[in-house]
Amino acid sequence: MYKIVRKKVLNPTVTLMEIEAPLIAKKAEPGQFIIFRAKEDSERVPLTIADFDRDKGTVTIIFQIVGGATMELNTLNEGDCLQDFVGPLGKPSETDDLKKVAVVGGGVGCAIAYPIAKKLHNLGCEVHSIVGFRNKDLVILEDEFNAVSDKLCMMTDDGSYGTKGLVTNALEELIKDGNEYDEVIAIGPVIMMKFVAQLTKKYNIKTIVSMNPIMIDGTGMCGGCRLTVGGETKFACVDGPDFDGHLVDFDEAMHRGTMYRDFEAHEREASCNLLNKEVK
């Protein structure tokens, strides 16, 4: 069993949990993920590792409350335990020999972008972070990004905080200002990563994206997380989750991501009904 040692609400739909998992913390690297089950009969869900502390033996996850499994996870509190917490899975993000990088995060994807920005900063890399949210109320990890970024561009769709516009607007401005990046790392909604990759391809800048498709076993056996990258079938769980953004078939990935939308809506409704009954 894996104890929750800290729980923090980051915004109305996003929660941070620090989990006691010393063996995972010992091996974890930015870019890798875990698979959890909140309770014995719960769904298996992958989440990218948001941070880790080898000395404390803890792993931090940040999740958006969007379906039945994450609603169930959010009912747990400090001192409670998760049934399963497996990892680290996937390949770590490659950070060697990078001198200047733009890290682009969108929404809850910023939770995945942060540990990469942090590691690059600790390695002496110049880090320009661009983070985007729909509005001020959804902003997360601003202080954390400030601490590890030489430049931070805060964007909101409606202009309620930072600069109004998309992350691609800020990225193109930085490129036009003469910033020569060794690499752009984009993490967030698939549509966001698609347009970041389209922009950087125009400027011939290497771009890495983190893909998080439907996943079941996390070992490459089920094939549920397959993607087409450079015309070849890849599995996010064992070949990724990081891939060359200029080679990913984003349209296929977005189509596959909608396949279980009705099922997820049903599970969310069922979880809401169950939680309401428990409250009564």
Domains of the chain, first to last: 2-89 (2.40.30.10), 100-257 (3.40.50.80)
Mean pLDDT of 233-256: 89
This prediction's pTM: 0.85
CA 200 – CA 171 distance, rounded (Å): 9
Q: Quick check: 267 pLDDT over 60?
A: no
Reported as a single tens digit per residue, the pLDDT across 108-141 is 999 999 999 999 999 999 999 999 999 999 999 9
Q: Please, are residues 225 and 259 in contact by the beta-carbon 8 Å criterion? A: no
Q: What is the pLDDT of residue 69?
A: 87
CA 216 – CA 207 distance, rounded (Å): 27
Q: What is the pLDDT of residue 102?
A: 98
Mean pLDDT of 13-19: 95
